Chain A
Amino acid sequence: MSTPSAPSQRPASDDAPPDAAVNGSPSLGGPTADDLVVEARDLTLRFGGVTSLGGVSLRQRRGEILAVIGPNGAGKTSLFNCLTGAYKPQEGSVHFAPTPEKSYSIVGKTPHSITKLGVARTFQNIRLFPALSALENVQIGAETRQRHGAFGAIFGSPRARREDRAGIARSVELMRLVGLDHRLHELSSSLPYGEQRRLEIARALATEPKLLLLDEPAAGTNPSEKLELAGLIRRISETGVSVLLIEHDMRLVMSVAASVVVLNFGQVIAHGTPAEVQRDPAVIEAYLGAQDTETQNTEIQNGETQNAEPAAAPATGKDLA
């Protein structure tokens, strides 16, 4: 557990890989490079004069559930966008290893080719295909790995028919996994909010990812749905998919994540187990401002941290979160 006390002291060099989240986690031991599913080094992302990410490094062990938390505008979603190719960071590197044998540098690749390598994501503000049925949404994910082209589809080649059937079967199976198999043919935009969130997870899973990025999957869901969601994330993790999670709900983070990375102002300010991070003075300061640690500490533990973010959100942060 290494937590720089102030942003200015943070090491920003390539040579000193930050003792990543995994190191701080007592249960995990010292990971070798083989164990990492994703390793981001010193990602720097600027929009004009605004620095969204200032040298963020992140390492995630294969099969681990890692949570990224931080106040609004801390750069969490920017980090996700860099990992999925939606943004190209000005500096830094991202290496993604779908299997221990293979490792790819993914900075500069297009989002769809990164998805093909095995990184899938959901969006903070749900982005389903609203006029398609729930099943079709998932099918589109499943079909990204299919090979048949326009002519195969027109002439109904054996491969096209086989893949089509397989895509439907796989999609139905995933809909069952997320508990939506009774909604197959309903319009995706007509589903309740919580179900739309789960449908988005199913669609992401359909692309057969090795790393799944969930951007605030519990936002706007009720307590019982959150409980279900925690179970779902664990089930996904058990199938061998590493899960990287942005979440404000500390109870959910506590219950599923093996370790937590805390971002603030585009910098990693803490990492460790959820319990360690919660006690970390820098984290408490980031969330609540630096007074009266006693009461705030309990607040973080009990409540949703998102209620307490304005203190740390920079003026421009809303656009970047």
Chain B
Amino acid sequence: MSAAPTVSEKPPAPRAPEPAADPGLGATIAAALFGAKGLRLLGTWILLGLVLALMTGKDGTPDKPAHAVVEDIFAPRIVTFLVIAMVMWVVVALWPVLRELAAGLVEQARGPAAVVTGNRYAPIGMNLVLLVLAILAPLYFSTAAQQSMVNDIGIYALLALGLNVVIGYAGMLDLGYIAFFAIGAYATAYFSWTKAAPPLPVHAPFHLNPFFVFPIAFVLAGLAGIILGAPTLRLRGDYLAIVTLGFGEIIQLIANNSSWTNGPRGAFGVPHLSIHLGGLNYSWKLDPKPYYYLLLGIIVIVMIAFGRLERSRIGRAWAAIREDEIAAEATGVPTLKMKLLAFAIGASVSGFAGVLFASKQFFNPGVFSLQASFLVVTIVIFGGMGNRLGVVVGSVILQGLAFYLRDKVPATDRYTWFGAVVIVMMIFRPQGVIPSRRRKREIQLAERGVGHADSLGAAPISEDLAS
């Protein structure tokens, strides 16, 4: 299954050995379909079709374990799945051929593309269209869908944008990212409360509008990130993954067991966001739409801000650390400081999102589960690490899928589908839905043994140097 359609934008790097003479389109297509690779693909797709037929069909029973197999596979409906499998086989097998053709045409049109502009702005027009779509979207969906668009898609898009700084920009793995979200949420419950029904047994001696908790949570979560990161970022990257994993668990356990956090009952009655500015009075209440637009605004601002960051010296320093930490250090990049900065920025955004979440609705420690952390990581990788639009789209697709499946499949099956989508994605498009150009190049180069694609492996001082 090595037919990953990674789109190469760089002709000078020879990919597959190409035949000297063009054998003609028909022969090429036949070779792609019926060569060893093509046949392997066919087998894979038929297998996938069978698995899908099983998954979507009847359930087995303890006394007749083969029931599902008989009902699902030896039945007319199997034809549908086999047809789908054949279509997918043809499309995937011919994908490289089509791409070659398209690349040839593009190259004819604009000449060889050895030139890279790593910092090219995404086409403005495209972004505006997407923004308009995002603005109009809630008008076409039910209230339940709108709720999901805020709680699941929007919040997770913001979280993914923050985690993207850690994973996509600095190349580190943070598996307890939701802990900072929890810090933001509980900070909101602590600082923003009403006399009538305080959300937590403990609270600040003063009341704050949740809007004023935004900067507090931003700083608190960032500080937590620095405290957690300062000792661990000195170690190899994989230790960071383990430590953050543990941190995420600790925060959830504290939230679950401490009397200060109300234990598993969670925080109830955090006041909604409201604005009182001169004559302007507005409160966010139960309707999800205003939250949606607020969140959309924040996401757009964060995307613009991180785009500027990515194209700045900070972003380039992160790229340097990802690609070759030793060389970065020798070129004067303070690698530890820069990694810590990425970690703190990511944590801050997570805390920020926590405030929004807490002020919108009731929450309990179950929200801050390990699964939530993994979900954010999955969204970032699925969407395309290092690409801001990519991770937002990843959130829309994955969380949208989760919402869609809510009524379609049994709750126990939902994550099976979820996993299947992610697996298929990783096989055919490991760089994500909308990959970052730079990241994609790094992955391609790292596969050929040039440089690294993340900063997980190399500690600043390693035996590597001596070679």
| Residues of chain A at the chain B interface (Cβ within 8 Å) | 77-78, 81, 84, 86-87, 110-113, 115-116, 120-121, 123-125, 127-133, 136, 139-141, 143-146, 148-150, 153-154, 156, 160, 163-164, 167, 185-187, 189-190, 203-204, 206-207, 319-321
- With a cutoff of 8 Å between Cβ atoms, the chain A residues found around residue B329 in the complex are 86, 110-112, 115
A86 to B442, CA, bound (A): 25
A123 with B320: CB separation less than 8 A: no
Q: Which of B118, B313, B317, B466 has the most CB of A within 10 A?
A: B313
Q: A148-B313, A153-B312, A207-B332 are in contact. Are A127 and B305 (CB under 8 A)?
A: no
| Known contacts A84-B330, A207-B331; is-contact A130 B445 (Cβ 8 Å) | yes
Distance of A75 Cα from B461 Cα, bound (Å) = 17
Other A-B pairs, 10, CB within 8 Å; known A131-B441, A154-B308? A111-B330, A112-B329, A128-B327, A130-B441, A131-B451, A146-B313, A150-B312, A153-B312, A153-B315, A186-B115
Residues of A within 8 A of B335 (CB): 112
A133:B323 contact, CB within 8 angstroms: no
Of B312, B326, B438, B451, the residue contacting A189 (CB under 8 A) is B451
By a CB distance below 8 angstroms, the chain B residues around A140 are 313, 316-317, 319-320, 328, 331, 333
Closest to B13 in A: A190
Chain A to chain B contacts (Cβ below 8 Å), 14 pairs:
A86-B461, A87-B465, A110-B329, A112-B329, A115-B332, A125-B467, A150-B312, A150-B314, A150-B341, A154-B305, A190-B13, A207-B331, A319-B466, A319-B467
Which residues of B are in contact with A by a Cβ distance under 8 Å? 10, 12-13, 114-118, 305, 308-309, 312-317, 319-320, 323-324, 326-336, 341, 345, 438-439, 441-442, 445, 450-451, 460-461, 463, 465-467
Report yes or no: B450 in contact with A160, Cβ–Cβ below 8 A.
no
Q: How far is the CA of A167 from the CA of B466 in the complex (A)?
A: 31
Contacts of B451 in A (CB 8 A): 128-131, 189
Closest to A149 in B: B314
Q: How distant is the Cα of A9 from the Cα of B324 in the complex, in angstroms?
A: 42
Nearest-neighbor residue (CB-CB) of A115 within chain B: B332
Within the assembled complex, what's the spacing in Å between the Cα atoms of A148 and B331? 17
Whole-angstrom distance between the alpha carbons of A154 and B12 in the complex?
Answer: 35
B13 contacts A141, C-beta separation under 8 Å: no
Chain B CB count within 10 A is highest, among A87, A129, A167, for: A129
**A127 touches which of B324, B439, B461 (Cβ 8 Å):** B324
Given the contacts A136-B316, A143-B316, A86 and B326 also touching, CB distance less than 8 Å: yes
A87 / chain B contacts, CB cutoff of 8 Å: 461, 465
How many residue pairs, one in A and one in B, have C-beta atoms under 8 Å apart?
A: 155
Q: Are B312 and A112 in contact (CB under 8 A)?
A: no
Residues of B with C-beta under 8 A to A186: 114-116
B169 to chain A, nearest CB (A): 11
Chain B's nearest CB lies how many Å from the CB of A107?
Answer: 14
State the main secondary structure of chain B at its contact with A.
helix
- A189 contact set on B, CB distance < 8 A: 445, 450-451
The CB with the most chain A CB atoms within 10 A, among B314, B463, B465, is that of B465
User: What 9 A-B pairs come out closest when comparing CB atoms?
Assistant: A144-B332, A153-B312, A115-B332, A127-B327, A130-B451, A143-B313, A131-B441, A131-B442, A111-B329
Across the two chains, which residue of chain B brings its CB closest to A116? B332
Counting chain B CB atoms within 10 Å of each CB, the highest count among A128, A150, A160 belongs to: A150
Residue of A nearest to B310 (CB): A153
A153 touching B313, Cβ below 8 Å: yes
Cβ-defined contact, B345 with A150, below 8 A: yes
With A189-B445, A320-B466: A121-B114 Cβ-Cβ less than 8 Å: no
| The one of A77, A187, A207, A319 that contacts B441, using a Cβ cutoff of 8 Å | A187
Given known pairs A112-B334, A115-B330, A186-B115, the reply for A164 and B313 (CB within 8 Å) is yes
B47 CB to closest chain A CB, in angstroms?
A: 35
B321: nearest chain-A partner, CB-CB? A129
The contact of B10 among A146, A190, A204, by CB within 8 Å, is A190
Complex-state Cα separation, A116 to B332, whole angstroms = 6
For A84, the closest partner residue in chain B by CB is: B330
Cross-chain contact A203 with B331 (CB below 8 angstroms): yes
Nearest B residue to A184 via CB reads B115
Per the bound structure, the CA–CA distance linking A203 and B460 in Å amounts to 19
- Distance A125 CA – B464 CA, assembled complex (angstroms): 11
Which A residue sits closest to B337, measured CB to CB? A112
Docked pose: A247 CA to B450 CA in angstroms = 24
Q: Taking CB as reference atom, which chain A residue is nearest B334?
A: A112
A300 to chain B: closest CB distance in Å? Answer: 26
Asked whether, in the complex, the Cβ of A187 is within 8 Å of the Cβ of B10, the reply is yes
Q: Are B118 and A132 in contact (CB-based, < 8 A)?
A: yes
| Cα(A164)–Cα(B442), bound, Å | 24
Q: Chain A contacts of B12 at CB under 8 A?
A: 187, 190
Chain A residues near B442: list those with CB within 8 A: 130-131
Please determine whether A129 and B118 come into contact, CB atoms closer than 8 angstroms.
no
Chain A CB within 10 A, most for which of B12, B332, B450 = B332
Chain A residues positioned under 8 Å from B327 (CB to CB): 123, 127-129
Say how far B165's CB is from chain A's closest CB, in angstroms: 10
Q: Tell me, rounded to whole Å, the shortest Cβ–Cβ distance linking A116 to chain B.
A: 6
> Which residues from chain A contact B323 at a C-beta distance below 8 Å?
129-132
Given contacts A154-B309, A164-B313, A203-B331, contact A111 B460 (CB under 8 A): yes
Q: How far is the CB of A109 from chain B (nearest CB, A)?
A: 11
Chain A residue with the shortest CB-CB distance to B438: A131
User: Which of A130, A139, A189 has the most C-beta atoms of chain B within 10 angstroms of its own C-beta?
Assistant: A130
Roughly how many angstroms separate A206 CA and B466 CA in the complex, as a whole number?
A: 24
Output the nearest chain A residue to B11 by Cβ-Cβ distance: A190
Bound together, the chains give a CA A125 to CA B465 distance in angstroms of 9
Q: Are the CB atoms of A139 and B316 closer together than 8 Å?
A: yes
Residue of A nearest to B341 (CB): A150
Query: Which of A116, A129, A133, A148 is close to B324, meaning CB atoms less than 8 Å apart?
Result: A129
Q: Shortest Cβ distance from A186 into chain B, in angstroms? A: 5
Q: How far, in whole Å, are A283 and B372 apart by their CA atoms in the complex?
A: 65
Determine the distance from Cα of A124 to Cα of B309 in the docked complex, in whole angstroms.
32
